[in-house]
Every structure is written in C-alpha cells, then in structure tokens.
Homo-oligomer: A and B are copies of this chain.
Amino acid sequence: MDTLATTPEPPYYAVIFTSERHAEPDDGYEDTAARMLELASRQPGFLGVESARERLGLTVCYWSDLDAIAAWKAETEHVAAQQAGRERWYERYSVRVALVERAYAFEARRDG
C-alpha cells in the first residue's frame, strides 16, 4: 500500500474510502487497519490498494467487480472492524464505489 498499485486494463472497480479519525489515542486502530489490508489482499477479485493519511485518510482499493466488493464488505472479520470503526475510531467517513473507465500511468525515464 506504500507504492502505486498495478492494475489491469479498465474496466474494474475502485472503492474510495476517506475518513477523519477521532483525536483520541489509537486503541487498536493501526493493528486492525494492517490486518484488514492483509485480509483484503487475499480476497477473490482484489486488484490492489493505495493509501495515505495526513489529517484525512484516503484508501483506494481496486476490485475486479461488484461481487468481489460485496464479498469483502460481508467478510466476518471485516464486519467487526467496520463496527469498531464506527464506535471507536472514526469521526466521519465516506465510501464511494466507482467504475474505473480509463487509466494511464507515467514513469520517469531513467537515463544511463
């Protein structure tokens, strides 16, 4: 998640998760977040993930199709994490499900 995701040619799906956390101390958040990324990456249809946090947290997870997204949303351990998120960690968040129609990438040329 600390490098650009390598995804296939569109179409595929992006789930855009943006969040603001409570000011209070961590209370298990980091461990759960890491565990969820590990779990998600083993789900069928998982294509990649990109994430960064400053005041705002942005995580974009790429999926092959809507069924894969529904299965991940319903995964038991993930459901518990979502509940903990609402009860303990997040001041607010939003989730957007979006169909990636076009994509392009740039990479700086390395001379020599």
Give the copy number: 2
Instruction: Please tell me if A16 contacts chain B, counting CB pairs below 8 Å.
Output: yes
Cross-chain contact A86 with B106 (CB below 8 angstroms): yes
Q: How many residues does chain A have at the interface if contact means C-beta atoms less than 8 Å apart? A: 43
| Chain B residue nearest to A100 in the complex (CB) | B98
Cross-chain contact B86 with A108 (CB below 8 angstroms): yes
Complex-state Cα separation, A16 to B15, whole angstroms: 11
Say which one of A26-34, A36-44, A45-53 lies at the interface with B.
A45-53
Cross-chain contact B14 with A16 (CB below 8 angstroms): yes
Instruction: Please tell me if A76 contacts chain B, counting CB pairs below 8 Å.
Output: no
Closest 5 CB pairs of A and B: A98-B98, A52-B52, A94-B105, A92-B107, A58-B58
